[in-house]
Amino acid sequence: MKRHAIIAANWKMNGSLSLIKEMVSGLNSIVLAENVNVVVCPSFPFLSAFALNAENENLQANIYLGAQNVSEHKSGAYTGEISTDMLNEVNANYVIVGHSERRSLYKETSTQVAHKVKTVLSAGLTPILCIGESEAERTAEQTETVLASQLQPVIDEIGIENFTDVVIAYEPVWAIGTGKTASPEMAQATHLFIRQFLANADKNIADKVPLLYGGSVNAANCEELFAQTDIDGGLIGGASLKVDEFKIICSSAKGS
């Protein structure tokens, strides 16, 4: 089954206008394997600057812009929120939805996440749906139950047929920003569970969904992770703030 590989940078609440410039010119010289897309997700105030710099530097077509969050509402009296229409206006193509930091710090529920995925899809944007278990949940052997409980509301909300336009990022919470990466074997086993869970609803669709791994991915461990059958790229936090390291990670991805 042919799947695109995707390397997405989640800058979180980091970065600056000068890093945007540095990243765009860094990515300008990058050589990517066939079928690899790169997505940079800076904070909202920097989206336009990325789009503008990318246009000025004539950045290759498979480098995209993404947001880190979006409102589930179309428009209206939601002070402080950002809509999918606004993201479309600044030429974003992807949106990270349901990151574990949003779920734990801002109490986003799986139902709300499912609504966001629907809103994102209906605006013609691609959601990067984040799922993952905590350390306590993995120790209690609840990983599969937790992942299923995060996936099922989205399947119920949008229908499995619409997963052709969804990217899933598996990010074990205990591996985020800790330097502790899931071993390639553990990540592969969990990705296989996710693919099989989707396959229970529709095998053909499940084979097409890019499954990204996130959690302390860096230049040293990316190759082994991306070599796994069901790992189609990564969602990169800290290492995506270092242009040279991020370029190495992007160059090591291979589409299937």
Q: Which residues are catalytic?
A: 99, 171
| Of 159 and 177, CB closest to ligand 13P | 177
Residues that bind ligand 13P (CB under 6 A): 10, 99, 171, 176-177, 214-217, 235-239
Please name the residue that has the structure tokens 């498979």: 62
Q: Are 134 and 121 in contact (CB under 8 A)?
A: no
Q: Which residue is nearest to ligand 13P (CB)?
A: 237
Shortest Cβ distance from residue 197 to ligand 13P (Å)?
A: 21
| Of 142 and 221, CB closest to ligand 13P | 221
| Of 8 and 151, CB closest to ligand 13P | 8
Shortest Cβ distance from residue 190 to ligand 13P (Å)?
A: 15
Pinpoint the alpha helices (H) of the chain: 17-28, 47-56, 84-89, 100-105, 110-122, 135-139, 143-158, 184-201, 203-208, 222-226, 243-251
Determine the Cα–Cα distance for residues 200 and 45; give it in Å rounded to an integer.
40
Shortest Cβ distance from residue 215 to ligand 13P (Å)?
A: 5
